[in-house]
Amino acid sequence: MSVFRNDLFLGRAALITGGGTGIGRGIAGALARYGANVAIVSRKLENLVGAAESIAAATGRRCLPMVADVRQPEAVDSAVNRAIQELGRLDFVVNNAAGNFVCPSAELSPNGFGTVLDIDAKGTWNMSRAAYRAWLKDHGGQILNISATLHYGGTPGQVHVAAAKAAVDALTRTLAVEWGPQGIRVNAIAHGPIGQTEGARRLFPGAAADQLRAASPIRRLGTIDDIVNLAVFVLSDAGSNLNGAILVSDGGLCLTGRLGLGVEVGPTI
Ligand code: HXC
């Protein structure tokens, strides 16, 4: 059962990066379920085709698979232009694509650091810029960035990701102020550990997940649905006074100061 109206996003169009898997796929499916046509963007066609077919079949909406690397501005421009051409408009952009791996800072190469900055921070910028220029500046709309909480403290093995997500937060706040007068809302969801995702497999395999669950004030990890439902709320008219907000969904874990994720490169929780 859903708490949202089925026609919440009827007639709207959305583009979701990293929309073939995990949280991005969940958000794409929900926006389609509530009436929007969607484009899902990823580097890997194999991550997109099955997701696009099943979203379209389950919802009766259009779901376009589009191959683009968010690090490449020309590819991002093309994806945005194609989405607008095929879907007729572009109301929501969800910057969800991200890169992550655990690596002790002393062992991280310059390219390793830069790669994650490029995917998360520059990718978010490339997509926001492209959508603004091609559609949002004239029609308004929303940008929703998927951030994290691991940079609220010091998370060992995550210096590259912490820097990247801090940049995403800064982009969120700056663009919210700069583009707000044009009817564009820019917000972020900062999530803590989510089970079921590629990030979880990389960051807290096995017993580390149990440690995090025990450390959480609500004694559970987040779920993809937690983030999907919050995204639907933010993008709906119920969120119309939200701009530049970074909404934390982590069960209160970051308030405990126990953000170590249980990774093996330093102090654990
Ligand atoms: C150390 C590593 C590494 C590792 C890659 N590198 N993996 N260094 N430990 N495990 C280094 C490489 O050696 C290289 O540097 C540089 O990073 C680029 O690596 P490539 O493999 O060439 O990059 P690429 O093929 O572009 O892949 C990007 C990637 C990859 C980020 C490295 O893991 C990826 O595609 N990830 C996408 C999916 C993903 O990460 N999803 C999880 C998001 S979770 P050198 O110097 O050797 O050239 C998330 C949640 C956060 O964001 C919040 C959680 C609570």
92 pLDDT more than 80: yes
Query: Looking at the DSSP assignment, which residues form a beta bridge with residue 95?
Result: 145
Task: Check: pTM over 0.85? Answer yes or no.
Answer: yes
pLDDT digits (tens, 9 = 90+) for 215-236: 999 999 999 999 999 999 999 9
Q: Is residue 1 pLDDT above 70, yes or no?
A: no
| Best probe residue, ligand 1, of 115, 119, 194, 253 (max atoms within 8 Å of C-beta) | 115
pLDDT digits (tens, 9 = 90+) for 239-264: 999 999 999 999 999 999 877 655 55
Residue 196 phi/psi, 5° resolution? 70, 5
Whether the CB of 241 sits within 6 Å of ligand 1: no
How many Cα atoms are found within 13 Å in the side-chain-facing hemisphere of 133? 11
Question: With contact defined as beta carbons under 8 Å apart, do 190 and 247 qualify?
Answer: yes
Domains in the chain, CATH or no CATH each: 13-252 (3.40.50.720)
Task: Check residue 269 and give its pLDDT.
Answer: 40
Cβ of 54 below 6 Å from ligand 1: no
Interval 163-176 mean pLDDT: 98
Q: What is the pLDDT of residues 105-117, one digit of tens each?
A: 999 999 999 999 9
Q: How much helix, strand and coil, in percent to the nearest 5, is found in the chain?
A: 50, 15, 35
**259 contacts 152 by C-beta, under 8 angstroms:** yes
Residue found by looking up tokens 């900055």 in the block: 117
| Percent of the chain's residues with pLDDT above 90 | 86
pLDDT score of 143: 99
First to last CA, the chain: 36
Residue in 95, 100, 249 to alter for ligand 1 test, most ligand atoms within 8 A of Cβ: 100
Residue 175 has pLDDT above 60, yes or no: yes
The CA 116 to ligand 1 mean position distance, Å, reads 7
Q: What count of Cα atoms within 13 Å lies in the side-chain half-sphere of residue 192?
A: 27
Q: Which of 144, 117, 155 is nearest to 227 (CA)?
A: 144
| 44 Cα to the center of ligand 1, angstroms | 15
Return the SS3 of 18.
coil
Percent of the chain with pLDDT over 70: 96
Work out the pLDDT band at 196, boundaries 50, 70, 90.
Answer: confident
Task: Please write the tens of the pLDDT for every residue from 102-155.
Answer: 999 999 999 999 999 999 999 999 999 999 999 999 999 999 999 999 999 999
Q: How far does the centroid of ligand 1 lie from the alpha carbon of residue 100, in Å?
A: 5
* Triad 224, 76, 119: Cα angle to 5°: 55
Ramachandran angles phi, psi of 224, nearest 5°: -60, -40
Q: How far apart are the CA of 98 and the centre of ligand 1, in A?
A: 9
Is there an atom of ligand 1 within 6 Å of 198 CB? yes
